[in-house]
């Protein structure tokens, strides 16, 4: 098969795409086929499915002095990786060397958890050191499997490539330093015809201390590497056929979108769709790189291509404005209300400064036109901390009755209809609210994103699935 004129492809494999012998065998075959078409291929891998959770759960238990689970966790990690190694690395000497490396990482995990137990505390830096071990194991395993399948490959630690700040558990890359480091390490390998198999999810400070990019950050890793090399395309291999019109667990008739704009996928990622890490889009947009989402278990499916905003405002059903519907569960609406707020400058600024002090992200904001109330959503587990911060900031106003109360609802869900042109197409909002009204869904709050590609509604938690199903009918009608 002739190689492409374009040169560099970055492919990322998610946890389910490498989580079993069969899955990793499929990933290896995909890498082989890509190498036949592309002169330069870079692979980014997640940890085996379930491994990161096991690592972090063990660290959390160690932080309260419970290390009783460590022997079982140690054996589970070794067994899971060895099972795949036995299947895909038939050379005994090569496999023994591989398992010695993985065994060393597992021993390091046990040592870290033992140290956490002694200290009685799991710092963010320590948690990053623990969490990143899953990718460090899987990269070695996948590289060895590729080599045994005839693909020249080498495991590469992203700590050598992605240079970040020291905000552990959610680090931000320094793109200048990352560009220099990535090209210095990867280009010689690529020139030699070797496929680098890079640990997703992790980076390092300039001092070499391991950091992570946030849960699900392997997508982001692939986008970063694609942007700085630069690559021609980035392919995200997952366990679904691409971006779907809705969560198929809620809407069985949900379908795959053949293409979607960068703006739309960013909104879907932000509002709960788990196909892509929310930060993935920006690096590829800024670098002008093609991005494709495809299925490791159905590689012949074309998947979903991301296109430039405005390139195609239509979906595969014709000229419907709404392309997809998504939901975020386990949210609470926090409301600040009082007649004394009318016309008083700075209330919103003080409110969101208080929220920021709790390190809480706010996915939705709405304000009454009378300026007598501000309402916003926060994750349910952060609601108590947010209320405490707000009551402290507005203690004087609450005492003087300028603010009547600060309160939170029970659990709610944010339902978001996503599609290019929702703001400027007449009648879209009317269709949405008619549809929800016909389904007897009560809308608690509304926000229309400034990105022009989404309308969000807050509904009772119990009405989540009914709301998504009702709005999905606007797509398939």
Q: What pLDDT shows up at residue 77?
A: 98
Is residue 78 a contact partner of residue 102, using CB atoms and an 8 Å limit?
yes
Residues whose CB falls within 8 Å of the CB of residue 222, separated by 6 or more in sequence, listed in order: 10, 11, 12, 44, 200, 234, 236, 280
- Pair of tokens at residue 431: 């269709």
> Comparing C-alpha atoms, which of 223, 114, 205, 133 is closest to residue 168?
205
d(Cα 136, Cα 349) in Å, to the nearest integer? 43
Short-list 202, 225, 203, 87, CA closest to 144: 87
Cα gap 226→235, rounded to integer Å = 10
The domain defined by 8-239 carries CATH number 3.40.47.10: no
Query: Which pLDDT score is estimated for 260?
Result: 87
**In what helix (H) or strand (E) does residue 28 lie, and over which residues does it extend?**
helix 21-37
Alpha carbons 304 and 460: distance in angstroms, whole number? 32
**Alpha carbons 220 and 291: distance in angstroms, whole number:** 12
CB 162 within 8 A of CB 202: yes
CB 276 within 8 A of CB 326: no
In which element (H, E) is residue 45 found? strand 40-45
Q: Looking at residue 6, what is its pLDDT? A: 60
Structure token pair of residue 39: 């002169």
State the 10-residue block means of pLDDT for the chain, 477 residues long: 72 96 98 97 97 97 96 97 98 96 98 96 96 98 98 98 96 97 98 97 97 91 97 93 88 90 79 73 87 94 81 45 89 90 79 94 78 88 96 92 92 90 73 91 83 85 94 83
Element of type H or E holding 428: helix 428-438
Return d(Cα 312, Cα 314) in angstroms, integer: 5
Question: What is the predicted pLDDT for the residue at 261?
Answer: 84
Q: What is the dihedral of CA 2, 13, 41, 301, to 10 degrees?
A: 20
Alpha helices in 347-410 (DSSP H): 347-357, 383-393, 395-399
Judge whether 116 and 69 are in contact, CB under 8 Å: no
CA distance 154 to 46: 16
């Amino acid at each position: 098969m002739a190689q492409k004129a374009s040169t560099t492809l970055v492919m990322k494999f998610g946890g389910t795409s490498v989580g079993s012998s069969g899955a990793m065998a499929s990933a290896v075959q995909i890498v082989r086929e890509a190498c036949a078409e592309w002169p330069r291929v870079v692979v980014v891998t997640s940890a085996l499915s379930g491994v990161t959770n096991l690592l972090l759960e063990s660290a959390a238990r160690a932080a309260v002095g419970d290390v009783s689970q460590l022997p079982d966790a140690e054996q589970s990690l070794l067994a899971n990786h060895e099972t795949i190694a036995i299947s895909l690395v038939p050379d005994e000497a090569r496999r023994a060397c591989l398992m010695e490396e993985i065994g060393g990482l597992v021993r390091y995990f046990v040592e870290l958890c033992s140290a956490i137990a002694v200290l009685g505390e799991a710092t963010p830096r320590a948690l990053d050191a623990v969490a990143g071990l899953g990718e460090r194991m899987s990269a070695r395993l996948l590289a060895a499997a590729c080599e045994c399948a005839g693909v020249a490959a080498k495991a590469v630690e992203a700590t050598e490539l992605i240079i970040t700040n020291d905000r552990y558990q959610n680090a931000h890359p320094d793109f200048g330093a990352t560009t220099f480091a990535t090209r210095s390490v990867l280009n010689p390998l690529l020139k030699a015809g070797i496929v680098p198999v890079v640990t997703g999810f992790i980076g390092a400070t300039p001092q070499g201390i391991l950091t992570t990019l946030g849960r699900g950050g392997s997508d982001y890793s692939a986008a970063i590497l694609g942007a700085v090399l630069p690559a021609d395309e980035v392919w995200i291999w997952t366990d679904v056929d691409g971006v779907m019109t809705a969560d198929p667990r809620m809407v069985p008739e949900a379908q795959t979108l053949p293409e979607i704009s960068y703006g739309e996928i960013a909104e879907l990622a932000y509002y709960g769709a788990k196909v892509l890490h929310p930060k993935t889009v920006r690096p590829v947009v800024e670098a002008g790189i093609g991005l494709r989402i495809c299925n490791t278990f159905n590689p012949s499916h074309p998947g979903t291509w991301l296109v430039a905003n405005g390139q195609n405002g239509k979906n595969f059903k014709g000229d419907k404005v709404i392309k997809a519907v998504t939901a975020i569960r386990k949210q609470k609406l926090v409301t600040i209300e009082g007649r004394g707020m009318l016309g008083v400058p700075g209330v919103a600024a003080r409110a969101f400064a208080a929220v920021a002090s709790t390190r809480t992200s706010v996915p939705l904001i709405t304000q009454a036109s009378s300026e007598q109330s501000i309402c916003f959503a926060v994750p349910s587990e952060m609601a108590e901390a947010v209320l405490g911060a707000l009551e402290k900031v507005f203690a004087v106003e609450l005492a003087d009755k300028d603010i009547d109360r600060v309160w939170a609802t029970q659990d709610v869900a944010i339902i978001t209809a996503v599609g290019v042109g929702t703001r400027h197409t007449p009648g879209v909002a009317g269709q949405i609210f008619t549809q929800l009204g016909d389904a007897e869904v009560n809308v608690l709050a509304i926000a229309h994103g400034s990105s022009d590609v989404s309308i969000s509604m807050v509904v009772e938690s119990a009405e989540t699935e009914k709301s998504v199903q009702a709005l999905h009918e606007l797509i398939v009608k």
